[in-house]
């Protein structure tokens, strides 16, 4: 039995007829750009996310870029974010000449740590002393809702308010996730979503969407994605070409109907994984993990070799009104390499998100970050391992994944 990390064929088989009908309607209309399906989908997502405005665009990467363009990010401006994320989060900052300020993550949620953000904004963080930024040039915070779990938005938005910064939620992995009953993309000034095919709500190619809170920023975002023109051929701004294809909107509208059910199934699978690992006695405590990994001058991680850290629903557990939508089910282990070998031998899909944190990427070397500037991110990049999770994964498959891991431990 081989078990993929993600099996989109199983999902497609269950909705094939509806999808084909939806695509066929677009083909019959021949309206491939900004057809009716785009506005319909935007409206549905706006309601789904409880956001004020929603605009489709070409990708999650473009959604981030559009948000930063909408706040007029200038070369030399600083944007605070997590180094433990997909490259696009920081890539968008750099593409506008901005400087990504990487601050460490929480060891339980893997999300940007508000304590680090506070220390930086108060000028008491080693990264502040390293970058020595002009305070007026600090413009925004991009919390990333990694793996399907939202960042600690209350303290982050509070800090942003105190320091006059925009909050751009990178919700690429977290559509439908909740923080204190509020959906991803509804809390910050902007919410950026990706519909890359492997996402929980995946298109049939690249696609993305941006939610916007403020009315005037919404108008600006709307036209920035259309080369800055409104009406057509009248350019008040220099924008980009970033639209959501009508065919993608049609596909996504069909899939959106099933999203909550799929998310519940993912949550159930995560619970089963957690329970089976607990029963096998391999779950370590977060207290075992001091956060002083080898980046901290030779202090090796104190997590026992035969234990793993399973995902913790931090915002969920703390608020009772949180919801992790398990885009990934990610464990941590000091024996990651051995686990990967065993999974490979057992034909079980797995992946490392992310093997090199952004503060250690070659393209940001000019900023002078060292691994120890974000030690938890560094440690997570050495230990994180994502296991198969998708709504159609069977109990038999879950048990095989768990048995393979437990065997190695
Ligand atoms: C956290 C995060 N941000 C941004 C992106 C970029 O999205 P896209 O691939 O649609 O450009 C992704 C997805 O790949 C992501 O996971």
d(CA 11, CA 233): 41
Q: How high is the pLDDT of residue 298?
A: 41
Expressed in angstroms and rounded, the spacing between residue 27 Cα and the centre of ligand 1 is: 28
Q: How high is the pLDDT of residue 258?
A: 98
Enumerate domains of the chain plus CATH numbers.
Answer: 8-102+110-255 (3.40.640.10), 259-408 (3.90.1150.10)
User: Which is the closest atom of ligand 1 to the Cα of 173?
Assistant: 16
**Eight-state DSSP code of residue 81:** E
d(CA 3, CA 394): 10
* C-beta 211 within 6 A of ligand 1: no
* C-beta 81 within 6 A of ligand 1: no
Residues of the chain under the 70 pLDDT cut: 289-300, 315-319
Beta bridge partners of 209: 56, 193
Protein residue whose Cα sits closest to atom 8 of ligand 1: 60
Nearest to 348 by CA among 385, 295, 293: 385
Helix or strand or coil: residue 55? Answer: strand
Long-range contacts of 95-101 (CB under 8 A, 24+ apart): 95/65, 96/65, 96/68, 96/69, 97/73, 98/68, 98/73, 98/74, 98/139, 99/131, 99/133, 99/367, 100/358, 100/364, 100/367, 101/127, 101/131, 101/133, 101/138
Task: Give rounded-to-5 percent helix, strand, coil for the chain.
Answer: 45, 15, 40
d(CA 174, CA 178): 9
Q: How high is the pLDDT of residue 303?
A: 85
Q: Which of 173, 188, 208 to mutate to test the pocket of ligand 1 (most atoms within 8 A of CB)?
A: 173
Close Cβ partners of 273 (under 8 Å, ≥ 6 residues apart) = 310, 329, 387, 389, 398, 401, 402
Q: How high is the pLDDT of residue 286?
A: 79
Q: Which of 61, 63, 188 to mutate to test the pocket of ligand 1 (most atoms within 8 A of CB)?
A: 61
Nearest to 113 by CA among 146, 135, 90: 146
């Amino acid at each position: 039995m081989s078990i993929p990390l993600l099996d989109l064929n199983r999902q497609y088989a269950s909705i094939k007829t509806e999808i084909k009908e939806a695509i066929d309607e677009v083909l019959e209309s021949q309206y491939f750009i900004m057809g009716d399906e785009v506005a319909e989908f935007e409206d549905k997502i706006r309601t789904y996310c409880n956001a004020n405005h929603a605009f489709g665009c070409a990708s999650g990467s473009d959604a981030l870029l559009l948000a930063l363009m909408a706040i007029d990010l200038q070369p030399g401006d600083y944007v605070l974010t997590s180094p433990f994320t997909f490259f696009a989060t920081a890539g968008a900052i750099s593409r506008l000449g901005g400087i990504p300020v990487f601050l460490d993550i929480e060891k339980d949620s893997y999300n940007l740590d508000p304590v680090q953000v506070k220390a930086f904004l108060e000028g008491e963080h080693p990264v502040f002393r390293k970058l020595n930024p002009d305070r007026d040039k600090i413009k925004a915070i991009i919390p990333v809702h990694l793996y399907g779990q939202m960042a600690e938005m209350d303290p982050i938005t509070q800090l942003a308010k105190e320091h006059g910064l925009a909050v751009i939620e990178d919700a690429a992995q977290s559509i439908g996730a909740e923080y204190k009953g509020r959906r991803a993309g509804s809390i910050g000034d902007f919410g950026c979503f990706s519909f890359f095919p492997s996402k929980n709500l995946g298109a049939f190619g690249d696609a993305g969407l941006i939610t916007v809170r403020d009315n005037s920023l919404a108008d600006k975002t709307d036209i920035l994605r259309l080369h800055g023109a409104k009406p057509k051929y009248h350019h008040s701004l220099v924008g980009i070409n970033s639209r959501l294809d009508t065919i993608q909107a049609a596909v996504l509208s069909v899939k959106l109907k099933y999203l909550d059910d799929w998310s519940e199934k993912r949550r159930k699978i995560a619970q089963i994984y957690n329970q089976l690992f607990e029963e096998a006695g391999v779950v370590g405590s977060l207290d075992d993990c001091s956060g002083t990994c080898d980046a901290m001058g030779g202090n090796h991680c104190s997590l026992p070799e035969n234990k793993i850290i399973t995902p913790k629903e931090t915002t969920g557990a703390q608020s009772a009104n949180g919801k992790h939508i398990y885009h990934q089910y990610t464990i941590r282990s000091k024996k990651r390499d051995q686990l990967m070998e065993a999974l490979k031998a057992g034909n079980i899909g797995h992946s490392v998100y992310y093997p090199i944190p952004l503060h250690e990427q070659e393209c940001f070397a000019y900023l002078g970050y060292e691994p120890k500037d974000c030690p938890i991110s560094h440690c997570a990049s050495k230990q994180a391992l994502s296991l198969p999770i998708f709504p159609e994964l069977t109990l038999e498959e879950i048990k095989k994944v768990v048995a393979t891991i437990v065997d190695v431990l």
